[in-house]
Amino acid sequence: MIISIASGKGGTGKTLVATSLALSLKENTRVQLLDCDVEEPNDHIFLKPIISESQAVCIPTPKVDEAKCTYCGRCAEICAYHAIVVFPKTALVFAPLCHGCGACSYLCPEKAISEENREIGVVEWGHSDGIQFVQGRLNVGEAMAVPVIRAVKARTSHDGIAIIDVSPGTSCPVVESVKGSDFCLLVTEPTPFGLNDLALAVETVRMLKIPCGVVVNRAGVGDEKVEEYCRKEDIPILLTIPLDTSIAHLCSQGIPLVEGKPEWKDSFLRLFDAIGEMVNERDCSPKR
User: For binding to other proteins (CB under 8 A), which residues are involved?
Assistant: 8-12, 15, 39-40, 42, 45, 78, 80-81, 99-103, 106-107, 138, 140-145, 167-175, 179, 191-193, 196-197, 200, 203-204, 207-208, 221-223, 245, 248-249, 251-254
User: Is 52 within 8 Å of 125 (Cβ atoms)?
Assistant: yes
- Please report how close the Cβ of residue 228 comes to other proteins at its closest, in angstroms: 14
- Please report how close the Cβ of residue 46 comes to other proteins at its closest, in angstroms: 8
AA letter at 260: G
Question: Sheet holding 212-219: strands in order across?
Answer: 50-64, 113-128, 131-138, 31-35, 161-165, 2-6, 183-188, 212-219, 237-242
- Please report how close the Cβ of residue 128 comes to other proteins at its closest, in angstroms: 15
- Please report how close the Cβ of residue 143 comes to other proteins at its closest, in angstroms: 4
CA atoms of 228 and 136, how far apart (whole Å): 36
AA letter at 174: V
Q: By C-alpha distance, which of 217, 218, 216, 249 is closest to 235?
A: 216
**Pick 79 or 163: Cβ nearer other proteins:** 79
AA letter at 98: C
User: Is 142 within 8 Å of 56 (Cβ atoms)?
Assistant: no
- Please report how close the Cβ of residue 28 comes to other proteins at its closest, in angstroms: 28
CA atoms of 120 and 105, how far apart (whole Å): 20
**Pick 190 or 213: Cβ nearer other proteins:** 190
**Pick 93 or 161: Cβ nearer other proteins:** 93
**Pick 70 or 196: Cβ nearer other proteins:** 196
- Cα 220 from chain centroid (whole Å): 28
- Please report how close the Cβ of residue 235 comes to other proteins at its closest, in angstroms: 16
**Pick 134 or 144: Cβ nearer other proteins:** 144
Query: At a CB cut-off of 8 Å and minimum separation 6, what does 284 contact?
Result: none
β-strand 84-87 against 90-93: which pairing, if any? antiparallel
Exposure of 158 in the CB half-sphere (CA atoms within 13 A): 2
**Pick 105 or 272: Cβ nearer other proteins:** 105
